[in-house]
């Protein structure tokens, strides 16, 4: 990695930056909006995907508009997809089961406790997440299934792509609390940032622990004697 001129994450982020600059320039209108590119790396400098970066304004109360359309977490091949879903407070999530087998979705997280006993197919009503916090979803009969719904009290957020970059745009200038979360993060990273009309980049290094969830067993054979 050191032999390369730029880290992979940076090189990949160039096109996005370019697009952003062009948009700002072409848009022309002197809108007082800024943008922050958050680059998230782990302790070894590797890009971290599926991290959630959020900006909470410190100078004002954020205006939260709940989308009409619910987010969707599909259960397919006995896995949740996507693993990480971000919604604002009051956000709705549908958790349809596309498998031929039943699932028993539950959460024991304080932010949202619920369980949907064994079912198949679509849900009639979405689950509403009305308190901020991280909600861990599991399946009571398939221990390895895990998904996270990050419920935020701010509309400014983004989930990092494979390259570790999370772009948050349309930001009114001002002071913000930047928070980065990841399912394996040892402690959320919090930092205060100031947004102006110029786009800026925040590089966040996070410490991740081993994935401590129950692993899916191999399809064939029994486990070796331990």
Number of residues that bind another protein (CB under 8 A): 21
Asked whether position 217 contacts another protein by CB under 8 A, the answer is: no
Q: What is the DSSP letter of 214?
A: P
Q: How far apart are CA 52 and CA 116, in angstroms?
A: 26
Asked whether position 143 contacts another protein by CB under 8 A, the answer is: yes
Listed in order, strand segments (DSSP E) in the chain are 34-42, 52-57, 71-72, 74-76, 79-81, 84-88, 91-94, 103-109, 112-119, 127-129, 133-139, 146-152, 156-159, 165-171, 174-181, 189-195, 200-206
Asked whether position 210 contacts another protein by CB under 8 A, the answer is: yes
Asked whether position 144 contacts another protein by CB under 8 A, the answer is: yes
Least distance in angstroms from the C-beta of 178 to another protein: 24
Residue 25 phi/psi, 5-degree rounding, is -75, -45
Distance of CA 191 to the CA centre of its chain: 18
Least distance in angstroms from the C-beta of 182 to another protein: 12
Asked whether position 102 contacts another protein by CB under 8 A, the answer is: no
| 22, 23, 64, 108: residue in contact with another protein (rule CB under 8 A) | 108
Site for another protein in 166-185 (CB under 8 A): 183
Asked whether position 106 contacts another protein by CB under 8 A, the answer is: yes
Interface segment toward another protein; rule CB under 8 A; list 34-42, 64-72, 133-141, 191-199 = 133-141
Locate tokens 């996070």: which residue? 206
Interface segment toward another protein; rule CB under 8 A; list 21-29, 37-45, 139-147, 161-169 = 139-147
Q: Measured from the CB atom, is 205 or 213 closer to another protein?
A: 213
Name, in order, each residue with C-beta under 8 angstroms of 86's C-beta and a sequence gap of 6 or more. 52, 54, 149, 150, 152, 157, 159
Instruction: Give the footprint of another protein on this chain (CB under 8 A).
Output: 104, 106, 108-109, 113, 115, 136-140, 143-146, 183, 210, 212-214, 226
């Amino acid at each position: 990695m050191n032999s390369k001129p730029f880290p992979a994450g940076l090189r990949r982020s160039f096109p996005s930056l370019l697009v952003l600059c062009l948009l700002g320039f072409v848009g022309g209108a002197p809108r007082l909006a800024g943008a922050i590119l958050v680059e998230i790396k782990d302790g070894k400098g590797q890009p971290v995907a599926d991290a959630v970066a959020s900006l909470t304004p410190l100078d004002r109360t954020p205006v939260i508009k709940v989308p009409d359309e619910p987010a969707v977490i599909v259960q397919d091949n006995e896995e949740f997809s996507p693993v990480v879903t971000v919604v604002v407070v009051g956000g709705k999530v549908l958790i349809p089961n596309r498998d031929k087998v039943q699932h028993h979705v539950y959460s024991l997280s304080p932010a949202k406790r619920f369980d949907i006993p064994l079912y198949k197919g679509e849900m009639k009503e979405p689950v509403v997440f009305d308190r901020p916090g991280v909600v861990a979803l599991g399946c009571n009969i398939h221990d390895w299934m895990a998904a996270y719904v990050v419920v935020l009290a701010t509309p400014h957020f983004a989930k990092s792509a494979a390259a570790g970059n999370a772009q948050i745009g349309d930001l009114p200038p001002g002071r913000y609390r930047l928070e980065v979360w990841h399912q394996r993060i040892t402690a959320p990273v919090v930092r205060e940032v100031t947004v102006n009309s110029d786009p800026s980049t925040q590089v966040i290094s996070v410490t991740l622990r081993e994935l401590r969830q129950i692993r899916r067993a191999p399809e064939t054979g029994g486990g070796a004697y331990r």
